[in-house]
Structure 1
Amino acid sequence: MPADLAALDARAGRDGLTVLGAFHPGPDDGAPAGTGTLVLLGPAPGGFWPVFAASPEGRDGGADPLDRWSARVIGALAAEGHAVAVFPFGGPPHAPFLAWARRTGSAWSSPVGLLVHARLGLFVSYRGALALGSRLALPAAPARPCDGCAAPCLAACPAGALGAGGYSVPACDAWLDTPAGAACLGSGCAVRRACPVCADGQAPAQTRFHMTAFHGRQTGCDA
């Protein structure tokens, strides 16, 4: 396994992934025994979708393609570096990825309750983690992007399903079933797109994949 986070991020990038944060877990964090550093991984902007779409899982038409891809690719990364792979799917029990994301110091609760990431904004998605035995040096925590932001996410949902009062999944589902909801299915969640961080969002095909998976309730950990 690479000796620092920058090298690990470069290695993960060959598989369309990026390091979304890391921390040194304590006994109450729920990490695998003996973990010195827990590194969270997710799709790399611009690099992930071509890799996944061309993969066997992305092309075979089977169930849960992204989970199967994540298990294979992150599992191979773990084996390569003598680490333990942990995933947000496959439970119960479920690993506490949202709590881990906050522990990295690179993700926080946004005004609408979803996690917001320092680089990926509301498009952050966690596909797995590597539990390393060594304690890697960690960078300084970035600034929380919501500080000083006008919070356009609060009023962005056309269905009023997601805002300061929380998230109504039934209202979101009902909206997606209407002709007007086709814009969200095709272009992505309007609330996530309203976040000024990572304003370019995702590739259209990637957005459609995630929205269709969400509407059909497939697994994973989109924060």
Structure 2
Amino acid sequence: MGTIDFDGLAAALAVHGLIPRGGIDFAKGETAPPGPSGASARAVLLVGHAGSSIWPHFQAWRATQPAGLADPLDAWSRQVIGAVAVRFGARAVSPSDQPWLPFQAWAMRAEGLRPSPLGLLMHPVWGLWHAFRGALLFDNALERPRNPDSLHHPCDACIGKPCLKACPVAAHAGGGFDYPACLGHVRSPSGSACASGGCLDRRACPVGTEYRYEPAQQAFHMAAFASPSIASAPTSGG
């Protein structure tokens, strides 16, 4: 098993607006998904993005695909990350794989992130404007310095919690997420601002505003959320 070419891997992902995120080596005896060999993986490296870095690449790809393609962002992510996995001797997995893989737990462990009051993982620089699009499983350890055990968590110093007050139906104000209320609002005429511009609670967060998704990207995610075919799944960020 050779050493992972992290520079080459990062360059291959950057072509698509993606970046290698945190990674962890699984402890001996720890339950882990199969790696590329079929045996339990030794390590996982998360793949994602910050801000709208993927958007032009995804849009260019989408223009070449059949109209009405189901879950296009998931399809694009699988295709792109899958090709990188083959090139670098890894196995690609997705947040939408079933049974669900613990992407959020991996991210918290690998990057020291913690959830915001909205449930999305808060990044001290990117705020809520980042996501995980997949992960690479390896048969060998990462053999690189570990990410810090914890990062500055901006929510601890946020007194006003504006992210809990902007939603017209108070979907996050009750100590959890009122999914039916949110979905009903977004699908209604009164929810047009959310449907076209993104979640108002998310947009109210003052951290990482320069990484806020562009309007077309936010509208895309909200349309996917409000789709009649939506199915519940663990979030890796939108």
1:138 aligns to 2:146 (yes or no) = yes
SS state at 1:43 partner? strand
Counterparts of 1:118 and 1:21 in 2: how far apart (Å)? Answer: 14
1:175 aligns to 2:185 (yes or no) = yes
**Is this contact kept in 2: 1:101–1:107, CA < 8 A?**
yes
Counterparts of 1:197 and 1:36 in 2: how far apart (Å)? Answer: 34
**4+ runs deviating over 6 angstroms:** none
Deviation of the 1:57 alpha carbon? 7.1
**Is this contact kept in 1: 2:16–2:57, CA < 8 A?**
yes
Instruction: Give me the identity figure in percent.
Output: 38
Amino acid at match of 1:21: G
SS state at 2:45 partner? strand
Counterparts of 1:170 and 1:147 in 2: how far apart (Å)? Answer: 28
Amino acid at match of 1:169: Y
**Is this contact kept in 1: 2:94–2:133, CA < 8 A?**
yes
Amino acid at match of 2:167: C
Which string of whole-angstrom CA distances, capped at 9 and with x for unpartnered residues, describes residues 83-131 of structure 1? 111111132x111112112111342121233322333322332210011
1:211 to 222, 229, 232: 222
1:3 aligns to 2:5 (yes or no) = yes
Deviation of the 1:66 alpha carbon? 1.1
SS state at 2:47 partner? strand
Q: Highest Rg: 1 or 2?
A: 2
Give TM-score scaled by structure 1 length.
0.86
1:111 aligns to 2:117 (yes or no) = yes
Give TM-score scaled by structure 2 length.
0.81
1:149 to 136, 139, 158: 158
Q: Size of the alignment, in residue pairs?
A: 221
Counterparts of 1:123 and 1:219 in 2: how far apart (Å)? Answer: 21
SS state at 1:181 partner? helix
Give the structure 2 partner of residue 84 of structure 1. 91
**Is this contact kept in 2: 1:23–1:104, CA < 8 A?**
yes
Amino acid at match of 1:175: H
1:197 aligns to 2:203 (yes or no) = no
Label 1:173 to 1:117 Cα distance change in 2 as closer, same or farther (>3 A). same
Question: Structure 1: where are the runs of 5+ without partners?
Answer: none
RMSD between superposed Cα atoms in Å: 2.4
